[in-house]
């Protein structure tokens, strides 16, 4: 996206890294307090998570369990601060949101890897409200041939974009990504509500 300063790893790469990392580690989860990304703070989702923070980005992750028990994948919550380049300052928040969502869709479009091995579907874009925040939303599903427990991986994800009241002056907005993976055929629930308290807890620091 030529109008956005992309200082962080693309969201699809964050998702795929999580699932590879989840399968390669047995790190113990720990309870975590409010996390500080320098420009903003958020509270962790309900439960016990691993957490990683950097300048302008925070990531929470945990294993995903089947309703019958047993780990079948991973859950990720990522929050990032996004900056609009000067040449995009004349655009409205709706145009920026569409630009950002279209870019992410293009990054994860079929054919990103061999088409027979990778499929993007059920892409939906709309506007919603969580708490008092207006959010531009995009949900989608990916099937990917990375082996978690044998066979294909299913990835369900929802991206939320929040434009604070001072957006026209700061040209800064915030991206919230919720994503869950599970092995093909696993009996699971999609717990997107886990990201709601993270969105509601966002506190932006004064520059």
Q: Report the C-alpha gap between 153 and 94 in whole angstroms.
A: 33
pLDDT in tens, the chain (207 residues): 455 544 333 454 445 444 444 444 434 444 456 667 778 999 888 887 888 888 888 999 887 766 667 666 778 899 999 999 888 899 999 999 999 888 776 665 544 444 445 677 888 999 999 999 999 999 988 877 655 455 567 788 999 999 999 999 999 999 999 988 776 666 666 788 989 999 999 999 876
The predicted structure's pLDDT at residue 91:
93
Q: What is the pLDDT of residues 112-121, one digit of tens each?
A: 444 445 677 8
How many angstroms separate the CA atoms of 168 and 172, rounded?
A: 8
How far is CA 92 from each of CA 33, 35, 163, 165, rounded to the nearest angstrom? 35, 30, 10, 13
Query: What is the tens place of the pLDDT at every residue in 158-192?
Result: 999 999 999 999 999 999 999 887 766 666 667 88
- Cβ contact 37:58 at 8 Å: yes
**What is the value of pTM for the model shown?**
0.80
Domain count, the chain: 1
Structural domain span for residue 174? 4-204
């Amino acid at each position: 996206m030529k109008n956005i300063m992309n200082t962080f790893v693309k969201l699809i790469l964050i998702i795929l890294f999580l699932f590879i990392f989840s399968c390669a580690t047995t790190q113990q989860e720990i309870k975590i307090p409010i996390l500080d990304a320098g420009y903003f703070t958020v509270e962790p989702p309900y439960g016990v998570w691993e957490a990683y923070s950097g300048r302008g980005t925070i990531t929470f992750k945990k294993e995903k369990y089947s309703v019958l028990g047993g780990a079948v994948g991973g859950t990720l919550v990522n929050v990032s601060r996004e900056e609009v380049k000067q040449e995009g300052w004349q655009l409205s928040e709706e145009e920026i949101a569409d630009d950002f969502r279209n870019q992410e869709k293009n990054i994860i479009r079929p054919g990103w890897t061999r088409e027979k091995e990778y499929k993007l579907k059920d892409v939906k874009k709309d506007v919603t409200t969580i708490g008092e925040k207006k959010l531009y939303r995009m949900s989608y599903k990916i099937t990917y041939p990375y082996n978690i427990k044998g066979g294909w991986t299913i990835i369900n994800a929802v991206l939320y974009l929040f434009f604070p009241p001072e957006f026209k002056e700061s040209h800064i907005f915030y991206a919230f990504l919720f994503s869950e993976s599970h092995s093909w055929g696993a009996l699971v629930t999609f717990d997107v509500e886990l990201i709601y308290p993270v969105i509601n807890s966002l506190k932006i620091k004064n520059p």
